A = this chain, B = another copy of it.
C-alpha cells in the first residue's frame, strides 16, 4: 500500500526533497535513519517544514526536536496545536522538552501546561483548548461575524460549542449548519442540544468510540462544574482508536506495543518490548513440565500418550484464543460488560463444547486407525473437554481482568493458551486413567 495516487518521492542532487505533497515527504522521511532524516528535514523550506512536521509520527517529531537547533525548534513549535504539543512534551527527553517550552509564548505555554494537568489517557489530555464559543442569544449573522473575527485563533471551527452566561456548556452548532441557516435565526434555536458533553477526566477510548459511533466532528469537553474546557476533534479520536487497537493486537500477540515505526525501533528495543512477556509466559509454561513430571510413570508405560500432547494443547490454545479475542473486542465496543459474565461464559462454554465435539467426531476414525481404539477414545474425549474448558477460561479471563482494572488484552490469547496447556494436560491424563485404567 503506497500513498494513494502520489508519485514516487525523489531526493534531488542537493539532497532536498522535490515533492510538493507534505504527505509524500513524510512517507519518505519515515523510511530514513534518524540522522539522515534530520539532515533532510533541515533543508525543507520553512513553511513546508511545518506542514511536514505536523504529519510526522510523534516519535519522529521527538527525534527531530532533539537534533534541530533552538531557532529551528522555536519556529516549528509555535505553530503546533496545544494538544499535539502536550503529547510531544510527554514523549521527548528532558532537554528536548525544555527547548520545546522555551520556544513558546507565555500564553501558549499555559495552555499546554493546563492539558498536562489532566490524568493520562483522559479526554483532557487530547482535547483542544483553542476553540471558539458562541452565545445562546447571538443571531446566525452575529455568530458568523464572530467566527470571521476570531476563528483564526482556534484549532477548529468546524464545530462551535455554545455556552450560557456562566460559561456552562449548552449545545453545539456545526459550522455547516451555521452557514446554511437563516441570518436572523437565534443560535439558541439552531444549536444541537442532543450532543452531551464528555468530562475531562473520562477515558480517551470511550470518548473516541463515542465520536466514532455518533459521527461527530468534535465532542465538547466540560469540567466537574459543567463548564466548557475544550473540544476533542475527530482526527485525535481516530489516532486514539488506532493506538488502542494496536495495543490490543500487540498484547494478543504477546508483545508490548512498539509506539514507533518499525524501522526506527532498534533490535534491542524490539527485544525489550517482547522479553518480559516471553519470560512470564515461559515461567507459566513450567506448569506443564510439572504436570507431565507428575505423570512420568504413566508416560513411561504408554509413550504413545505423548504423541498427542502438542496437538491437544494446540487445539485447546486456539479455542481459548478464539473466545478471548472475541470477548476483548466485544468489551472494547461495549457490547459486553462484567455484569454479563454468567451469560457470556455460559454462551462461550456451549460454543466450546460444540467446537470440541465437531473436532472430536472428525478426528475419531483417523486416530483410531493410527493408534488403536482405546487411545483414540481418550484423545477425542480430551478434545471435547479441552475445547470446553478453553472457551470457559478464554471468556472469563478478559472479563475478570477488566473487573480488577487490568487491560483485558493483557490476559487474553497468550495467557489463556498457557493456562489451558497445563489444565488440558491434567485432563488428558485423568481421562487416560479412567479409560485405560492406568
Contact = CB atoms under 8 A, between A and B. Distances in A.
Interface in A135-161: 144, 147-148, 151-152, 156-158
Contacts of A358: 271, 275, 279
A134 interface: no
Contacts of A289: 307-308, 310-311, 370
Interface stretch (A70-78, A87-95, A101-109, A260-268): A260-268
Given A144-B179, A210-B3, A261-B335, A21 B270 contact: no
10 contacts: A1-B206, A2-B334, A241-B241, A246-B329, A253-B325, A255-B326, A267-B350, A278-B322, A282-B359, A303-B306
B1 A278 contact: no
Contacts of A325: 249-250, 252-255
Interface residues of A, number: 140
A23 to B, nearest CB: 5
Contact of A148 (B179, B268, B314): B179
A55 interface: yes
Interface string A258-291: 1001110001101100110111011001101100
Interface string A348-382: 10110011001100110010001000000000000
A363 B143 CA distance: 70
Contacts of A262: 326-327, 330, 335-336, 344
Interface string A369-405: 0100000000000000001000000000000000000
A299 B241 CA distance: 50
A26 to B, nearest CB: 7
A110 to B, nearest CB: 25
A359 B279 contact: yes
Contacts of A322: 253-255, 274, 277-278
Interface in A407-427: 412-414, 417-418, 421-422, 425
Contacts of A21: 194, 196
Task: Report how many copies the assembly holds.
Answer: 2
Nearest to A235: B215
A45 interface: no
Interface stretch (A9-17, A33-41, A111-119, A197-205): A197-205
A263 B327 CA distance: 11
Given A199-B4, A209-B1, A234-B238, A282 B179 contact: no
A331 B249 CA distance: 13
A175 interface: yes
A435 interface: no
A151 B180 contact: yes
Nearest to A179: B147
Contact of A314 (B253, B293, B421): B421
Max chain B Cβ within 10 angstroms of own Cβ: one of A30, A203, A289: A289
A156 B176 contact: yes
Contacts of A417: 314, 317
Contact of A282 (B198, B275, B314): B314
The 7 A-B pairs with the shortest beta carbon distances in the complex, nearest first, are A253-B325, A288-B310, A262-B330, A245-B245, A4-B198, A215-B235, A262-B335
A237 B128 CA distance: 22
A162 B310 CA distance: 62
Given A213-B23, A234-B238, A278 B176 contact: no
Contacts of A347: 267, 270
A176 B205 contact: no
Contacts of A147: 179-180
Contacts of A267: 347, 350-351, 354
Interface string A16-50: 00001111001100100000000000000000000
A242 interface: yes
B175 A4 contact: no
A362 B279 contact: yes
A100 interface: no
